[in-house]
Structure 1
């Protein structure tokens, strides 16, 4: 096993950071450059990153994301945005009336590009000794986030990312077994239930071993409860439509 794979397998979400240890400008630029090196569909690079260090703005983002205090406490917060505005701007350099087609495929391309770049950046940050955690709560109130960050049409905030030097050692959370996620040649539903049952046993032991212990639950029960809460963030469709993304 090489160092890169060891780094990937060692990933843990970090929500507590050492105070007064900043991410330097040089380190930030290196992290973003690593993100930019990620694969991108047809070289469109359809993402933008908004870096936030201002305490008041971080506090407001923390509130909008569900009062997640680690947004306030981390020295560097990044908001990763799917961005088709830059593509339209580029097109208008050659034709003032140019309008790129804002289809579901374009939305997917921008979303995937953003996620690929962010994960590259996350690995780069961890290689420099930082810890990260993704903040999907940014999508709780996307209109307010877009207004706060002055995002134009054709740009939407996908998720946030806290970066800082870890001040905690959380347990490594097990993942699903290979048999539950990898299919040979074609999708096989037969192996999924066995993989889930195996993972439930693993996660039950994990929950019981954590600080406090005694949590009587399994992964399948947790995700079933999560998905039974009703449609997740149903407001996103109207927000995206208002931002110019036509999901057709």
Structure 2
């Protein structure tokens, strides 16, 4: 009979090996990583993340949603203000109207569940009003930024929870093309802003989605101060790695550097989001 120590060692070795494979997928097979890595199931799950855009028509169980929201509420929150909320959208017609704002994306149409994550200062305002106390601190950019960060941290916790339970997700930033329409559709009060959507569902096994490579760590991890010396060469190598991924996924071939340039080149590339400041103010935020 295998001893517990031997079993634990074998499982640890297997996890370390899988993590090494995932790291090579995340940064490109040509990058060298040690075979013996300190690894856990959580790290393996995080490194395995990929956006899922094709779903089975199987609904997300309510208990699964509730567990994911519990995970979301376990995320850090600035001063414990918990300045976020989320709307779960399953109604096909409502989802289609929101999807029209997002450009009628396939993943929104297919996913049985769309979560709209909200930066929510209205709850804090209501608390202060009920206590007949001032709340002018909510009128500043810091409070809006705090709420956006809280919503983002919560959503990422939910993504990890969903993926650990065998579901797939995909962020939908395009609801910011027209946040006022989304706010009206969801009956949002003043000082509530739809930050992004998140599709959730069981991935279609007929569609294989590989891990998308990311920039080298040397581009994002700096020691003591910001460094740019090696950036040009690193970005050229990343373009090559991404081309390999695009070929495997049957995607159009485009340099990442060109994609970035296109995305930030003009205000038209922002798809109406150049007007966000005025829209945010119309939704009741002070932004001093």
Instruction: Using structure 2 for the length normalisation, give the TM-score.
Output: 0.81
1:12 aligned residue (44, 50, 61): 50
What residue in structure 1 maps to residue 170 of structure 2?
133
Q: Structure 1 stretches of 5 or more lacking a match?
A: none
Q: What is the match of residue 142 of structure 1?
A: 179
How far apart are the structure 2 equivalents of 1:227 and 1:136? 15
CA RMSD of aligned residues (A): 1.5
Number of the residue aligned with 1:190: 229
Matches within 5 A, 1:86-125: 86-95=123-132, 98-125=135-162
What SS does structure 1 have at the residue aligned with 2:86? strand
Distance (Å, rounded) in 2 between the aligned partners of 1:169 and 1:209: 10
Cα distance in 2 for residues equivalent to 1:133 and 1:235: 25
SS of residue matched to 1:12: coil
* Greater helix proportion: 2
User: Aligned equivalents of 1:92 and 1:32: distance in 2?
Assistant: 27
Number of residue-to-residue matches in the alignment: 245
Does the 8 Å contact 2:117/2:196 carry over to 1? Answer: yes
Instruction: Give the 3-state SS of the residue equivalent to 1:235 in structure 2.
Output: helix
Deviations 1:143-196 (A, max 9, x none): 111000000110010000010000032121100000010000111121322321
Give runs of ≥4 in structure 1 deviating > 6 Å.
none
User: What is the SS of the residue equivalent to 2:87?
Assistant: strand
Aligned pairs (5 A) from 1:1-248? 1-19=39-57, 21-95=58-132, 98-167=135-204, 168-211=207-250, 215-230=252-267, 232=270, 233-248=273-288
**TM-score (norm: length of structure 1):** 0.94
Larger CA deviation: 68-77 vs 91-100: 91-100
- The residue matched to 1:151 in structure 2 has which SS? coil
* Partner SS state of residue 59, structure 2: coil
